[in-house]
Every structure is written in C-alpha cells, then in structure tokens.
Amino acid sequence: MAGTCVIGLQWGDEAKGKIVDVLTQENRMVVRYQGGANAGHTVVRGGEKFKLSLLPSGIFHENVHCVIAGGVVLDPISILAEIGSVTARNVYIGARNLSISDRAHVIFPWHVAEDHLTNIRCSSGEAIGTTGRGIGPCYRDKAGRSFAIRLGDMFRSDFAEKVRFIVKARQPVLDALAGEGERVVLDADAIIEEYSACASKLKPMVTDTTALLLDAVDADQSVLFEGAQGSLLDIDHGTFPYVTSSNSSGVGVPASAGIPPRFIRRIVGIAKAYTTRVGGGPFPTEQENAIGQLIRDRGHEYGTVTKRPRRCGWFDAVAVRYAIRLGGIDTLCVSLLDVLSEVGDLKICTSYEIDGPDGKYTTNVFPSHVEDLRHATPVYETAPGWKEDLSSVRTYEELPGAAKNYLHRISELVGCRIGIVSVGPDRLQTIFIPG
Ligand code: IMP
C-alpha cells in the first residue's frame, strides 16, 4: 500500500508545493483532490519560479502522471490559462502526463459573480475574505445538485440546455444580491460558446480518474496526494465559517480523490515555523505590530493568488497539535525556518485562556466554536532566537543550537516527529532528519 499525503497544518500557504515537488521523485502519480484555483503553489526549479494554482506540483517531473481528481472544482478558463503559461516555458502538459476527472464540478461565471457579491456579507459580521474564484458557490451547487454541472456533462448533447436552465434561475438571485452598480448580466449563449471551446481543448485529458486511481491502488503504485489550503480551513473541522468549502485537512483525502482510506501509508503534515492567515477569521497568535511586519517582509508573505498581505504571527502549538491529531500525521515538516533568523526571541503558543459563555478556562484543545477562538488569549513560552542565515544549511547538525531547540520544543508540544525542515524555496534547501 503506497499512498502518501501532503497536508497543510495551518491556514494554508505552508509551502506544500515545494515539499510535493521534493517528494515527487519517489512517486508515479501526483493527485490534486480538493479545492480549485483558490490555491497557490510556488515551485522553484533551478532558480526558475513557477506559480501553480490547479496543476499538481508534480507536473515538472518526467515519468510522473498528474491527476486532478473528482473532488476538485475546476474553472476551465483558468486551468487552460495555467497550462498555457507553463507550456510556454517548455514544460510538456498533455494527455500523456495529466488526467482531469470527468466528475470534477465546473465553476461558471455565476459562481464567481456570487462569490464576489456574498464575500462582503457574512452572518458572523466579519467578511470571510474568499479568493473570489467561485469556489464556495460551486461546492454549494454540488451539494445542492439541481444547478450543478460536472466536467463530463460538458461533452453531452444537453449541455447548452443545462446552462440556459441555470442562467434563468441564477440571474434573479444575482440581481437580488447586487448593490448599486454591481449588477452582473449572464449571457447564456456566450457562456455556452466559451465553455464548449474550453471543453474541446481539455477533452484529451478528461477521463474517469477514479478508475485510473483504483487501478493504481490495485497495482500498489506509489501515489502522492497533494492537499490544498490547510487543515484549519477545512469546511467541517476548521474555523467555520472562516474556512474554504472542501475538506482540506487529512480527513479529506480518500473521499475527494476516490480511493480507499487504507491505501494511505504515510501522511506528511507541513507547518510554517510561524503562522500566517489570509482572509477573515480569528487568529489568536497574530502580531499586528513590528514583529508581524518583520515576518511578512522576511517571508515575502503576500498571497500567491490574490497578492493580499498575509496576516502573520507566532507559532501556535495548540492549532498545529489539533491538525496533526485530526490528520493522523506521522511526519512533520517545518517550513520557512530561515525566515525566523534575526527576528529575536521567539514565542510559541502552548495553550489558550478562553473567555467563553460559561466563564474563563485554560485549554490546549482547539475550540470548536469560532467565537471561543476569537476570545482566546494565547499563553506563550519564549525560546531564544538565532541570527545565523540558514538558507545554505543542508543537515540538521549544521543548524544553530537555538534553531534545534526551537524545533525540538515544537515537536514536543505538537506530539509529532519532525522529519523535514525547509530553509528556502529551492528543492535543494531541504533538510531530511532520519527517523
Ligand atoms: P475560498 O476558498 O476562496 O472560498 O476562500 C475561503 C477562505 O480560505 C479565505 O479566507 C481565503 O483567504 C482562504 N484560502 C483559500 N485558499 C487558500 C490558500 O490556498 N491559501 C491560504 N488561504 C486560502
């Protein structure tokens, strides 16, 4: 049994793309199985930077087959643009190395329009701050079924009829949501023409990826499952409603990819050496001060997809311990350790003091209700920092003593062995710690 998963343990952007790229050489297949073009993965190869959204990070490896599985929501226009921009840099992408599930749900202009119109209004007050890619409305229609179109539907004779039916139903909804100057007019004929053209271009790659993956399972091939976003953005287990619309924690892999859970042999969880978050929602260890700005500057913490400045703060061991237990993580990768050089003394959150509806209490259990998290005051311990530049360190032994102590304490608090440390964006800037 040979499935390996790479899962983000915080609120996304943990450098999963780089670690997937590093681990890909041990695998025959790389699978993206949830989310959509809301994800942004940066892969640096030989000094060249590639920004991927929906394409699996294994796309640069010869003899590796990439799969976009049925749990993904796919915007045909954006995936074709992404394929175009990567192939323009002499990387082959086609039916020989990419399969896209005919079960994947398609993002249409009405999803994107609704995402923009509802993003600014949330029943909990604060805006969710979505990436505006239509992800939530598309997953909502998938669950609702009546207004959903899957990629496989685009090759059927009733595709145009379905689009007309949905446009008729959705236009009044968009009109009701729109404020002054926000009206979006859906043109069914134009949508049918544009999306049919996209479908023709994608057709050679569209297939039943569930059958493909089940063959890989039967043949006991090594398959890498590439998570998008992070565990704390999981629709069921994250900081709801400030989450994405898919199961982005470790629990999401089998259902979204279409494989039996017992196929998964190894689960690698990735956490930054500090914490970031984009969009709304509580973030107990956030540093809205000079420290947060220093981390943002040193870590280039600006969104890959939306370019928004990321909110930055200290490492939160309560949150990461929760994500590790939820995902059954057996190997922890700590990324961006190099960013903390010269930050000074470091703080690690070990528990929360929560002022909840039943009074004050201290806990190391991640709260299930977002308002309890909003009222959580982090309890910190301080660890000495280091000044040395880590970007050219290649072995654990070469790390400064303070960095080793910091890693050791994190491992102890979250209850997981650290097997990988990343000290820069290039695949070579990776330290493997033998078990
Ligand atoms: P959506 O996934 O576009 O609906 O956005 C929902 C929330 O998830 C927002 O707070 C986004 O900023 C966040 N989010 C979605 N994708 C990513 C990601 O790849 N990295 C970090 N945050 C993300």
Q: 139 and 105 in contact (C-beta within 8 Å)?
A: yes
pLDDT band at 372 (very low <50, low <70, confident <90, very high): very high
Ligand 1 centroid–CA 38 distance in Å is 6
Q: How far apart are CA 246 and CA 341, in angstroms?
A: 35
Catalytic member of 21, 41, 116, 237: 41
Could you read off the pLDDT of 177-225 as tens digits, one per residue?
998 888 999 999 999 999 999 999 999 999 999 999 999 999 999 999 9
Tell me, what's the pLDDT at 394? 97
* Separation CA 224–CA 59 (nearest Å): 12
Q: What is the pLDDT of residue 120?
A: 65
pLDDT average, residue stretch 277-293: 96
Cα(320) to ligand 1 centroid in Å equals 18
Q: Is 13 in the active site?
A: yes
State if residue 13 touches ligand 1 by the CB under 6 angstroms criterion. yes
Do the Cβ atoms of 39 and 2 come closer than 8 Å? no
Ligand 1: does its nearest atom lie under 6 Å from the Cβ of 304? no
pLDDT band, residue 303 (cuts 50/70/90): confident
The C-alpha atoms of residue 410 and residue 364 are separated, in whole angstroms, by: 14
**Residue nearest atom 2 of ligand 1, based on CA coordinates:** 244
- Name the more confident of 435 and 363: 363
Residue 38 Cα: closest atom of ligand 1 = 16
CA angle 54, 119, 283 (to 5 degrees): 80
Q: For residues 258 and 223, give the distance between their C-alpha atoms in angstroms, rounded to a whole number.
A: 13
What's the CA-to-centroid distance between 235 and ligand 1, angstroms?
Answer: 11
SS3 string of the chain? Answer: CCEEEEEECCCCCCCHHHHHHHHHCCCCEEEECCECCCCCEEEEECCEEEEECCCCHHHHCCCCEEEECCCEEECHHHHHHHHHHHHCCCCCCCCCCEEEECCCEECCHHHHHHHHHHHCCCCCCCCCCCCCCCHHHHHHHHHHCCCCCEHHHHHCCCHHHHHHHHHHHHHHHHHHHCCCCCCCCCCHHHHHHHHHHHHHHHHHHEECHHHHHHHHHHCCCCEEEECCCCHHHCCCCCCCCCCCCCCCCHHHHHHHHCCCHHHEEEEEEEEECCEEECCCCCCCCECCCHHHHHHHHHHCCECCCCCCECEEECEEHHHHHHHHHHHCCCEEEEECHHHHCCCCCEEEEEEEEEEECCEEEEECCCCCCHHHHHCEEEEEEEECCCCCCCCCCCCHHHCCHHHHHHHHHHHHHHCCCEEEEECCCECCCEEECCC
Rounded to a whole number of angstroms, the distance between the first and last alpha carbons of the chain is: 20
Report the percent of the chain where pLDDT is more than 90.
86
For a ligand 1 pocket test, name from 16, 229, 247, 283 the mutation site with the most ligand atoms within 8 angstroms of its C-beta.
Answer: 229
With pLDDT > 70 as the criterion, what percentage of the chain qualifies?
99
43-100 confidence digits (pLDDT tens) = 777 778 888 899 998 898 989 999 999 999 999 999 999 999 999 998 999 999 999 9
pLDDT at 170: 97
- Residue 306 above 90 pLDDT? no
Scan for tokens 């003394």, then name that residue: 345
pLDDT computed for residue 305 by the predictor:
75
Pocket test for ligand 1, best of 130, 142, 231 (most atoms within 8 A of CB): 130
How high is the pLDDT of residue 1?
53
Ligand 1 atom at minimum distance from 233 CA: 8
- Our answer on whether the CB atom of 38 is closer than 6 Å to any ligand 1 atom is yes
The predicted structure's pLDDT at residue 234: 98
Phi, psi of 154 (to 5 degrees): -75, -10
Taken in order 47, 343, 324, 38, is the CA torsion positive or negative? negative
Q: Could you tell me if the CB of 133 is within 6 A of ligand 1?
A: yes
Say yes or no to pLDDT of 272 above 70: yes
Confirm or reject: Cβ of 107 under 6 Å from ligand 1: no
Q: What is the pLDDT of residues 137-174, one digit of tens each?
A: 999 999 999 999 999 999 999 999 999 999 999 999 99
Q: State the Cα–Cα distance between residues 295 and 288, nearest whole angstrom.
A: 11
Annotation marks residue 297 as catalytic:
no
**pLDDT (average), residues 19-28:** 90
Report residue 121's pLDDT band, with 50, 70 and 90 as the boundaries. low
114 Cβ below 6 A of ligand 1:
no
Give the per-residue pLDDT at 248.
97
The pLDDT-based confidence of 25 (bands split at 50, 70, 90) is: confident
- 360, pLDDT greater than 60: yes
> Which residues, 6+ apart, have CB-to-CB distance to 211 below 8 Å?
none
Q: Is the CB of 279 under 6 A from ligand 1?
A: yes
Using most ligand atoms within 8 A of CB, pick from 11, 226, 278 the residue to mutate for ligand 1: 278
Instruction: Output the six-digit token pair for 60.
Output: 């640069």
Residue 40: the pLDDT is: 83
For the CA of 280, the closest atom of ligand 1 is 10
What pTM was estimated for this model as a whole? 0.96
Nearest atom of ligand 1 to the alpha carbon of 306: 12
Who has greater pLDDT, 256 or 304?
Answer: 256
